[in-house]
């Protein structure tokens, strides 16, 4: 069962392991404020869109890929693909790295405190334990910044990087790679559903299994 109460009602057909993973990600976005509301909307679609019922059925045909795996992979791949900013649009997940700026600022504060005269530190109640805690926080943020940046560039840029649906293409190619089965099972139908749901693709621009297949096949031209 989910590890905590879901912030929005989750359907019964969503596997419990997927619900637990989903709640973890959604909780993170809730704590991050309005700047990641686009991510929250994606997660809400992933959990509640009726098409996802078919996606979970389709996943049952794949070996060694759990509902939790699919939830995590979809979330990370979508976030990474969204760094490909479509021409003429804006995205909450661009190429800026505020987490790197925060880590740098924290390190600067720790260094500045360390450079102060010990008399001033004593008068301000700043002890060696305080300094150690500042250094610990700065080190943690630096490691987190590197991890986040590694995740953001997880999905390779598509061949048509300036296409309006470049973020869709990046997502399709990476999800196909993640879900590819050595036993011959192909993920085209599943990836089509995930793309339409997570990107809220309009009805006239829907992805279908054959379109996903052609997209994934064309990626090799860029190598």
Domain positions in the chain are 18-83+153-222, 98-151
**Cα-flanking dihedrals φ and ψ of residue 164, to 5°?**
-65, -30
What percent of the chain stands above pLDDT 70? 74
- Model confidence, pTM: 0.70
Of the listed ranges 83-97, 164-178, 183-197, the one predicted with least confidence:
83-97
Per-residue pLDDT reduced to its tens digit, 198-213? 999 999 999 999 999 9
**Alpha-carbon distance 90 to 78, whole Å?**
16
The answer to which of 94-103, 135-144, 183-192 has the lowest mean pLDDT is 94-103
Average of per-residue pLDDT across 22-42: 78
Structure confidence at residue 2 (pLDDT) = 41
> In the structure encoding, which two tokens stand for residue 3, read together?
């590890």
Cα gap 109→182, rounded to integer Å: 51
Q: Give the number of C-alpha atoms closer than 13 A to the C-alpha of residue 46, restricted to the C-beta side.
A: 30
Q: What is the pLDDT averaged over residues 173-193?
A: 91
Give the C-alpha separation, 32 to 98, whole Å: 12
pLDDT of 223: 42
Comparing 3-7, 92-96, 191-195, the range with the smallest average pLDDT is 92-96
Question: What is the average pLDDT score of the chain?
Answer: 79
Q: Is the pLDDT of residue 8 over 80?
A: no
Sign of CA dihedral 55, 56, 61, 65: positive
The pLDDT of residue 5: 56
Highest-pLDDT range among 80-89, 121-130, 162-171: 162-171
């Amino acid at each position: 069962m989910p590890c905590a109460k879901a912030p929005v009602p989750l359907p019964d057909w969503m596997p419990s392991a997927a619900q637990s993973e989903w709640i973890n990600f959604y909780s993170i976005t809730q704590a991050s404020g309005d700047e990641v509301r686009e991510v929250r909307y994606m997660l809400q679609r992933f959990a509640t869109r009726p098409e996802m019922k078919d996606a979970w059925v389709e996943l049952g045909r794949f070996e060694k890929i759990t509902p939790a795996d699919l939830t995590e992979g979809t979330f990370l791949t979508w976030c990474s693909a969204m760094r490909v900013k479509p021409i003429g649009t804006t995205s909450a997940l661009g190429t800026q790295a505020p987490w790197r700026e925060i880590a740098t600022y924290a390190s600067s504060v720790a260094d500045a405190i360390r450079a102060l005269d010990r008399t001033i530190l004593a008068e301000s109640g700043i002890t060696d334990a305080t300094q150690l805690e500042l250094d610990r926080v700065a080190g943690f943020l630096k490691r987190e910044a590197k991890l986040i940046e590694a995740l953001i560039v997880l999905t390779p840029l598509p061949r048509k990087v300036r296409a309006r649906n470049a973020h869709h293409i990046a997502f399709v190619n990476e999800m196909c790679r993640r879900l590819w089965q050595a036993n011959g099972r192909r993920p085209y139908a599943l990836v089509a559903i995930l793309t339409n749901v997570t990107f809220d693709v309009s009805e006239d621009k829907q992805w279908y299994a054959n379109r996903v297949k052609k997209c994934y096949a064309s990626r090799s031209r860029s190598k």
